[in-house]
Amino acid sequence: MLSGRRILLIISGGIAAYKSLELIRRLRERGAAVRCIMTAAAQQFVTPLAVSALAAEKAYTDLWSLTDESEMGHLRLAQEADLVVVAPATADLLARMAMGLADDLASTALLATDKPILVAPAMNVRMWQHPATQENVARLDARGVRRIGPNAGPLAEGESGMGRLAEPLEIVAAIEAFFAGSGRLKGRRALVTSGPTHEPIDPVRYIANRSSGKQGHAIAAALAGLGAETVLVSGPSREPDPPSVRTVHVETARDMLAACEAALPVDVAVCAAAVADWRVAAAAEQKLKKDAGAPPALVLAENPDILKTLSAAGPNRPKLVIGFAAETEHVVRHAEEKRRRKGCDWILANDVSPQSGTFGGDCNTIHLVDGAAVEDWPPLSKRAVAERLAKRIAAYFAEGGGR
């Protein structure tokens, strides 16, 4: 059932657009509220009248309509939905999404939304197979856009191959599966650390590392996506604050630890930050002068280990504490040693040798080590790693873990 769910359905212009009428009916039968945006091309295949009659709400078509903008501007359209569904998604609209273009109402709403998006591509087989389309789809996948189809089979123009729009009932099932999973961590509290830390040398210089924060931010977003009340403690990162997450910005390891302790108690803590191991013992209060004689000798002091501290937090210990191990060799063995040393429950080990491209890149190959077994995950985008981890955490609690 989809009672009370608000779906923004974006219909783009392929012959499969006629199936969107059936999709609207099936969604409404299940109790969903469906609001529709049609591209100009979609209106060549189905009429706004048919769409609005089935949706029981006006179909939105024009970014420049004064009445539409005053009644229901593109930003409200983008935000007042629990899920945005693009069906059919043409090669053109996928390309515009991948590029972040905003040249009509559909693409503008897609750029303006921070809600989850599900695309159902439909196009000719050669358009689907074209490297440009494949690159666009890969880019959208890495961004966490969900996808159903296309299916293989006879195509409208008499050819056959990949490119058929998934059947309306398959799209409905994907939407139901999305919502079924989306509340699995409701009532749980989560803490995630992310990014590097900056350890000052003087007011303008610092020691840092190459962590981007991509993985930690994606984990916070995925946990929040499953309904967890999530706090993200982030070192300096270019990643935007994830939606529906309370983000606390810190600079140093000591600030990060304090922010984590302030967020307790939580059910699960995921330490994905690349915390600097050392800080300058006595950072200079004024900028060090380079013409002051010999280069300064930096005396380093050890930073607190946040993962270890949270793992030993006594009555406040999160039920599940998860760390990462960046290794360049003997990945699993070193990870298990690290798990014991830190006192955490799971370690997600990954290979960060320079040739792996993990740091700052988009892909991770994870081995989940939990003391009893090792799970080898296939190479996944950081977003996909985050979603898999969030589901694994939800399954752990659902099976009674952490009691």
Residues labelled as active-site residues:
209
Contact between 303 and ligand C5P (CB under 6 A)?
Answer: yes
- Rounded to a whole number of angstroms, the minimum distance from the CB of residue 300 to ligand C5P is 13
Rule CB under 6 A: say whether 275 interacts with ligand C5P.
yes
Beta strands in 60-133 (DSSP E): 83-89, 117-121
Least Å distance, CB 273 to ligand C5P, is 5
**Which bin fits 330, alpha (ψ -120 to 50), beta or left (φ > 0)?**
left
Residue 88 CB neighbours (<10 A): 30
Contact 337, 369 (CB under 8 A): no
- Residue 336 is given by DSSP the state H
Q: Which is closer to ligand C5P, CB of 121 or CB of 196?
A: 196
What are 297's two structure tokens?
A: 């000798």
Q: Is 305 in the site for ligand C5P (CB under 6 A)?
A: yes
Asked if 253 touches ligand C5P (CB under 6 A), the answer is yes
Question: Within 226-342, where are the H helices?
Answer: 253-263, 306-311, 331-342
Total residues contacting ligand C5P (rule CB under 6 A)? 14
Beta strands in 40-133 (DSSP E): 83-89, 117-121
Under rule CB under 6 A, residue 389 binds ligand C5P: no
The pair of structure tokens assigned to 301 is 């002091």
Residue count (the chain): 403
Q: Which stretch binds ligand C5P (CB under 6 A): 67-75, 201-209, 267-275, 378-386?
A: 267-275
Residues 38/60, Cβ–Cβ less than 8 Å:
yes
Which 133-152 positions form the footprint of ligand C5P (CB under 6 A)?
A: none
Choices 24-32, 87-95, 219-227, 272-280; region in contact with ligand C5P by CB under 6 A: 272-280
Site residues for ligand C5P, 177-196, by CB under 6 A, read 193
Per-residue contact string for residues 309-338; x = within reach of ligand C5P by CB under 6 A: --------------xxx------------x
Binding site for ligand C5P (CB under 6 A): 193, 253, 271-273, 275, 303, 305-307, 323-325, 338
